[in-house]
Amino acid sequence: MIRELPNTERPYEKCEEKGAASLSDAELLAVILRSGSKGESALSLANRILYKEGNNGLLNLHQVGPEKLMELRGVGRVKAIQLACLSEISKRMSRLRFPEGPSFSSPKLIATYYMETMRHEKQEHVKLLMLNSKSRLLGETTMFKGSVNSSVVNPRELFIEALQRNAVFIILLHNHPSGDPTPSKEDIMTTIRIKEAGALVGVELLDHIIIGDCSYSSLREMGQL
């Protein structure tokens, strides 16, 4: 148990003496968990959570849902909910750098703003960002959630949504669960189709940004728009 460890190996005492930055990922999680299970320390339980399905470490808190976590011995409903809330806190904290939202003229800032909420998804999520004539955000909506391998965007539904919000400009945003943001041929074809449809209804597609694992691609920056 943690109380049986020497002071230099106890997460609470180590944090107090050296600061939170000195703690390993497992030690940080052990502090949050507070207790382990019968015959097991919180530190040991933290390690099992972090490496439940491979070597994902802290990413497991985003990628493994409460139901999966509860399959682990020592993780009940309360601990699973605590960890789900911890994951959500980290996502929201990542956006606090942009209190008024990102600059919608900067693909990099847009990608950074949405990175933590999209890069962990196991399916493709297609978001529509709707902007006014000054490129300020009117609203955003998830237009499609698809399989890992493909997504289908219906231009008609997309522009109905945009026109209802009186949008002048739109930006498409979607993730690649593989982690590689390189646009596929389908991505490029979809972008061209939506750009052409937008020209007919008077709503300009400014960009199509693809979110990977801590990386992104902007079809505007690539010269596809």
pLDDT computed for residue 151 by the predictor: 56
Phi, psi of 216 (to 5 degrees): -150, 165
By C-alpha distance, which of 88, 180, 104 is closest to 137? Answer: 104
21-77 pLDDT per residue, tens: 888 888 888 888 888 777 788 888 888 888 776 667 777 677 777 788 788 888 888
Based on the domain organization, do 118 and 80 belong to the same domain? Answer: no
CA gap 28, 138 in Å, rounded: 39
pLDDT computed for residue 194 by the predictor: 93
Beta strands in 83-136 (DSSP E): 125-131
CA gap 81, 99 in Å, rounded: 27
Q: What is the chain's mean pLDDT, rounded?
A: 83
Asked if residue 102 is part of any domain, the answer here is no
Based on the domain organization, do 66 and 27 belong to the same domain? Answer: yes
Residue 82, burial from CB neighbour count under 10 angstroms (0-12, 13-18, 19+): middle
Based on the domain organization, do 50 and 134 belong to the same domain? Answer: no
Based on the domain organization, do 44 and 114 belong to the same domain? Answer: no
Q: Predicted confidence band at 6 (pLDDT cuts at 50, 70, 90)?
A: very low
Which CATH number covers residue 191?
3.40.140.10
**Domain span including residue 61:** 2-95
Based on the domain organization, do 177 and 202 belong to the same domain? Answer: yes
